[in-house]
Structure 1
């Protein structure tokens, strides 16, 4: 009888321990899910704040009065929104390089060694053109890709996205990261507009570093509400952009949480009926 009671007591104790363990596991899981839910809500709030920056940029770029528009030369435009510091940079796509003929000079301006810059520019040209001839100064056609162990060759067609540059033979992550902010597939202009171009692009266009810096300084002195800026050559800079812009909007909370939305948008009549803008590319993530 005593043995039975002892066995029953042990069984009850084990059941209580099992139940206590289940409660602990359930409480821990609930805590983890609560933390995950809170993190997701916070991140979503940051994303929405960054997307608010895109909307504000579209409104400001659509202003009829040119002195009230944001000037699309990559300068920061900042404001507070729902507890986030939002920084928005807008760059007109017409200020970027689209023509392969300028790519070698652009890479030189970005600090790429000359021989490598010429070879990569040739490989990019061969990726785009339809012939099987190597570009002058070095390039890459199908046999070169095969020799490198790649199961694809030169595309022999224009680039659809800037990210395709990563597939070009000889391109590495470092050079690609330097090029991305300054090249575009959204314009076919043979030369970038100096009115909006960044320092490396201005140098690729043949300006000395000092002259390029003067252009940047002249633009940077302008603020909304003032007459349109004047170039160092004395002419007024463009009062309106091309209508196609890359926009980077970063939302940062006081605790350091940051979310960035980067997009390329088309604004105006080309956006389509009833739309303020049409997105051509869209990416959400943490800032690099």
Structure 2
């Protein structure tokens, strides 16, 4: 005998309510997870450390520590950037490199100033301009701010940094969005090599195209940003987008090698595109220099 189950209207309403509650609970959990991922990717700073070897590094500079910050885009990581400042301090840097896109308008400068106030005096600080400073028309404003806080502004220029009786060259390449009469990167690098053929050359340049466009640039270590880590990152795949609002990221994160140099690309700290950073936390990079035998 086959019995057919029958349900009263009340039982059917109860089943519908339970199904609705399950669906709403699942949707709420998914929404909460998405919010947590986005917030983690926006505010939770990741510390990354690399060790870079070079035969040109003097023995006196063994263990030299560089903190690399890039692409702030007016972000605040902690009130007045206090978390970013504290984490920078903990790295005990010998040099702090800022590789552009820190602000593109006056509204974003307050976040930049709070950061500069916090890191002032920790170590020599060097800055190169990014494309957004030029696009936003705030280059002179941000340059004045940097100089008030003792930051060395490098626009197709270089300086010698001395420590423990030894030295290295710190060079900064201007962004292509800048003035048309600028020194070309290769010309600057070759001039440095002619003057200091045996010195370790640290090269700061906002864009991440150095391996692609200048594979034989005569420098030792390049620090760059610009790519925002591909904005959305997936395990085993990496970044999905580029900062031109297109699909596909290249040279978006980590170390790359070409010719005589190593290029490190920071994922950056902020964002400038409509797509939020996902699985892509703000990054503070520390590079420890070691002498290769």
TM-score (norm 1): 0.31
Whose relative contact order is higher, 1 or 2, with alpha carbons under 8 Å and at least 6 apart? 2
* Structure number with higher helix proportion: 1
TM-score (norm 2): 0.30
* Structure number with higher strand proportion: 2
